[in-house]
Amino acid sequence: MVRAKKTLGQNFLMHARIAERIAMVSELSSSDVAFEIGPGTGMLTRELLKRAKKVIAFEADQELFEKLQTDFADDIANGRLELVHGDIRTFDIGSLPKGYAIVANIPYYLTGEIFRMFLETENQPISMTLLVQKEVAGRVAQSKKESILSLSVKAYGTPKREFVVPSGAFVPAPKVDSAVLTIRNISKKNFKTRTDEERFFAIVRAGFAHKRKFVLKNLAEAGLFSEKMRSRLEKLSISAKARAEDLPLPVWLDIAREE
Ligand code: SAM
């Protein structure tokens, strides 16, 4: 048995049935390349290899990397599995083949970074299927109250909370339950240019700066509120007393439009 390293956020899936269910909701087909972040002991990797054309798996832990090399020697030899050793935060996403799909049980400390890295890149995945903290999956996928996190995902794709995985399904068991989150229809269609994208995020961040204040006040304090914005909001019948969490993605996109 491998000893889990806390610093690398290691919580290993213990049941092949759960790994199979994750692979199933990812809707991988035999022509897809799956990209797995943190294969760990290979429980999910095995299921991905049953479905995808090829799996590229990226592991930071040297000890696990060496064990995977032995356990999956045949799949590596026949080219169906490419194992890479390193820290995902320094990975060149551009080196992945176009149209890859991410399927992973990621370490929790990397959740925000993985969303950012893979949604903002030019070489976006076609879909993401991630095991994340249940609370995070709920916050991203719900539609009643928005947050910087939910808007940062919805700006690029359609999130859905698929199913809950209880903490007891992992060793060691994390403090909280997890859930599988899928993000589909990933694209940059909401942004014509990188400047549009940057402006959208600057406005969202400013809008959420003080949670209890009205969004218009937050934007004004950041020097980002204009007359054009006021008339757009009026047209959309948005109350001057709306808070940032009450505004859905289309409204943010509309007020962030430059022209
Ligand atoms: N996929 C395995 C499973 O489901 O049992 C392991 C999941 S565990 C939550 C997270 C995995 O990510 C571990 O194998 C850990 O070593 C790896 N990891 C942690 N930080 C990483 C990083 N910065 N880059 C790449 N892999 C990392």
Torsional sign, CA 197, 247, 159, 104: positive
Could you give phi then psi for residue 171, rounded to 5 degrees? -130, 125
Calculate how far, in angstroms, residue 37's C-alpha sits from the geometric centre of ligand 1.
6
In which residue are the tokens 């590229």 written? 56
pLDDT above 90 as % of the chain: 86
Q: What beta strand segments (E) does the chain contain?
A: 12-13, 33-37, 54-59, 81-85, 101-105, 127-133, 158-165, 170-171, 178-184
163: amino acid identity, one letter: F
Question: What value does the mean pLDDT of the chain take?
Answer: 95
Ligand 1 neighbours (beta carbon < 6 A): 8-13, 37-41, 43-44, 58-61, 64, 87-89, 105, 107, 110
Rounded CA-CA distance 25/34 in Å is: 13
pLDDT of residue 259: 58
Over range 116-140, report the average pLDDT.
97
Atom of ligand 1 nearest to the CA of 10: 8
pLDDT beyond 80 at 211: yes
Residue whose CA lies nearest to ligand 1 atom number 21 = 60
Q: Domains in the chain, start-ordered, CATH in brackets?
A: 6-184 (3.40.50.150), 194-256 (1.10.8.100)
pLDDT of residue 257: 84
Question: Model confidence over 20-75: pLDDT tens digits?
Answer: 999 999 999 999 999 999 999 999 999 999 999 999 999 999 999 999 999 999 99
Could you tell me the pLDDT band of residue 229, with boundaries at 50, 70 and 90?
A: confident
CA separation, residue 98 to residues 69, 121, 124, 156 (Å): 25, 12, 8, 17
Calculate how far, in angstroms, residue 141's C-alpha sits from the geometric centre of ligand 1.
23
- Nearest to residue 127, comparing CAs of 51, 181, 88? 181
Atom of ligand 1 nearest to the CA of 40: 14
Rounded CA-CA distance 13/30 in Å is: 24
Rounded CA-CA distance 160/55 in Å is: 23
Calculate how far, in angstroms, residue 188's C-alpha sits from the geometric centre of ligand 1.
28
SS (H, E, C) 190-240: CCCCHHHHHHHHHHHHHHCCCCCCEHHHHHHHCCCCCHHHHHHHHHCCCCC
Mutate to test the pocket of ligand 1, among 17, 59, 136 (most ligand atoms within 8 A of CB): 59
Calculate how far, in angstroms, residue 55's C-alpha sits from the geometric centre of ligand 1.
15
